[in-house]
Structure 1
Amino acid sequence: MVFVYGFIGWTGYVSLSNWNSLVPDFSFAGLKNYAFLFNDYRFQADLRNTLFFTLFFIIAVLASGLLLAILLDQKIRGESLFRNIFFFPMALSFIVTGVVWQWLLNPSTGVNLLLKKFGMSPLWYTSVKVIPGVEWGKIEFGVPVAIIAVVIAAMWQMTGFSLAMYLAGLRGIPEELREAARMDGASELQVYTKIILPLLMPITVSVIIIMAHISLKIFDLIYAMTGPGANFVTDVPGMYMFETTFRGNYYANGAAITIIMLLSVAIFIVPYLISSRKGGS
């Protein structure tokens, strides 16, 4: 109660105050800090980056994890070896992953150095280009090219989790169901689309919830890999909160960012917890 809900309440209280200096000022400011954030270009860029990072990251993890799980479910030779290889990235921290992929994708080292020899441009990793998108209010939702590099690194680390979930689900589906469908004339594609994938839907929802939770509060991977990037093309609310609070000493603004991050995660987590509790009862 104290170390979770107590500090959440304290953060919410600070976000409504005027404490934006080293000297505490708890006078009531209302929603001034929130209004400042939603009119701030950097925070608008953070919302855009988080939206596209979450969307691409979840799709990539689901697709890659399901595909690898289906391949491993074919009882291939050396399955345990492949399974350990795919699970290994999960043993690393996001900091380590960020440093490794920063080296791999850096324009002067790693993979990009090899691309240069073939006349291919490696600048997409540090690109400030934003592919134009829709505009909602004052926020333009275009896709930053550089955010794709972060998605690749995050997918590489978290695909093993999706693989484990889907593989356990596939192994839990009775073989009789598949055989019955084949005997009724269903093709292998129809077996997966009409029988297996619907049965895996609870696992898919669980993976989406967990990956959304990770992506919405991502900080360490981007901090180690790219930082906020030029023109904030890879910046996220966690990065902005860290710099605002601990480098700029704008504690009320930092607390407001934290509350917004908490609410964005709650949008995914709370309905899932409620539905799980009803299903369990």
Structure 2
Amino acid sequence: MKLTKDQLMAALFLAPSLLLIAIFVYGFIGWTGWVSVSNWNSLMPDMSFAGLKNYLYLFGDYRFQAGIRNTIFFTVLFILSVIVLGLSLAILLDQTKKGNAVFRNIFLFPMALSFVVTGVVWQWLLHPSTGFNRFLQVFGIQPKWYTDTNILAGFQWGSIEFGLPVAIIAVVIAAVWQMTGFSLAMYVAGLTGIDEELREAARIDGATEFQIYRKVILPMLTPITMSVIIIMAHISLKIFDLIYAMTGSGANFVTDVPGVYMFETTFRGNYYANGAAIAMIMLILVAVFIVPYLIHSRRGTS
């Protein structure tokens, strides 16, 4: 098939970007996958095939199990909190029209900060000897926050123990503070796009404001909610900078996550194959959320 001049020009403009993506995205993913099944666990490269040895080691490793457990609880608490707070604030702004622009800017301000800055600030705020904790100590309250090594009640599946660490709640608070503004902006945009005539029609039929939101508005915001869930899950499953800046792996790994474990394993322990295996597992976890959503979205727009 002969290309037209416009098609040829478009291909030439796209070629550099496609080449860079092929090398620095898919090429490096392939390289990481190969390293993960090699014996390269020292400073000297050893690319001999090791099979699934590195993966089997990780799933039997207590620290990796703790990281997966913390990631699950962090993801669930983070997503639920961001959705509930973002939606509640959006509905509040929708009900009170005055000062919306000011409040939106206030809620969106944390998003202008990096997770590293957020982690450092909240580390200071929640430290037992600084921040508002001194005020609480006046009343006899001794909060430990991210230094608490206690595990709340949970359950055990095989050799993996699932229990909510108290310290992970401190990290969730910091992450929710930063990302609630994004959820708020999404829901405000969704509420703005709903025709006011739908609300008026529901009022004429005798529906209360609560019924209007529950029966009319919230179902129409379902696509927004799904988008927020996917984006927040993507952030939480590969979280690294916030936790590393705020707590590191924590005492007894109570705030450890695969991202922190991967960094320390690869660049401090020089276990490159193990670190690559952690990276591939994180890629799979993110793909489990992202790929079905992308497929559903393509079908919905086709």
TM over 0.5: yes
For residue 262 of structure 1, the aligned residue among 275, 279, 283 is: 283
Percent of counterpart pairs with the same letter? 75
Q: CA deviation at 1:124?
A: 3.2
Q: CA deviation at 1:188?
A: 1.3
State the Cα deviation string for residues 170-195 of structure 1 (Å, max 9, x = none): 01001111111111121211111111
The answer for the alignment partner of 1:24 in structure 2 is 45
State the Cα deviation string for residues 225-281 of structure 1 (Å, max 9, x = none): 111000000000000000000000000000000000000000000001111111111
> 1:86 corresponds to which letter in structure 2?
F
The answer for the alignment partner of 2:67 in structure 1 is 46
Structure 1 stretches of 4+ moved >3 Å: none
SS of equivalent to 2:162: strand
The answer for the alignment partner of 2:293 in structure 1 is 272
The answer for the alignment partner of 2:228 in structure 1 is 207
Q: CA deviation at 1:137?
A: 1.4
**Aligned 1:1-281 pairs, distance under 5 A:** 1-281=22-302
> 2:300 corresponds to which letter in structure 1?
G
Give the RMSD, CA atoms, in angstroms.
0.8
> 2:171 corresponds to which letter in structure 1?
V
- TM-score normalised over the length of structure 2: 0.92
Distance 2:287 2:260 in 1: 19
Preserved contact between residue 110 and residue 177 of structure 2 (Cα < 8 Å): yes
Q: CA deviation at 1:125?
A: 3.0
Pick the structure with greater CA Rg: 2
Preserved contact between residue 48 and residue 141 of structure 1 (Cα < 8 Å): yes
State the Cα deviation string for residues 46-68 of structure 1 (Å, max 9, x = none): 00000000000000000000011
Preserved contact between residue 146 and residue 250 of structure 2 (Cα < 8 Å): no
Preserved contact between residue 73 and residue 170 of structure 1 (Cα < 8 Å): yes
Preserved contact between residue 126 and residue 145 of structure 2 (Cα < 8 Å): no
Preserved contact between residue 178 and residue 191 of structure 1 (Cα < 8 Å): yes
Distance 1:184 1:121 in 2: 54
> 1:164 corresponds to which letter in structure 2?
A
- TM-score normalised over the length of structure 1: 0.99
Q: CA deviation at 1:24?
A: 0.4
Distance 1:20 1:179 in 2: 66
SS of equivalent to 1:218: coil
State the Cα deviation string for residues 14-50 of structure 1 (Å, max 9, x = none): 0000000000001110000000000000000000000
Q: How many residues align?
A: 281
Distance 1:111 1:218 in 2: 26
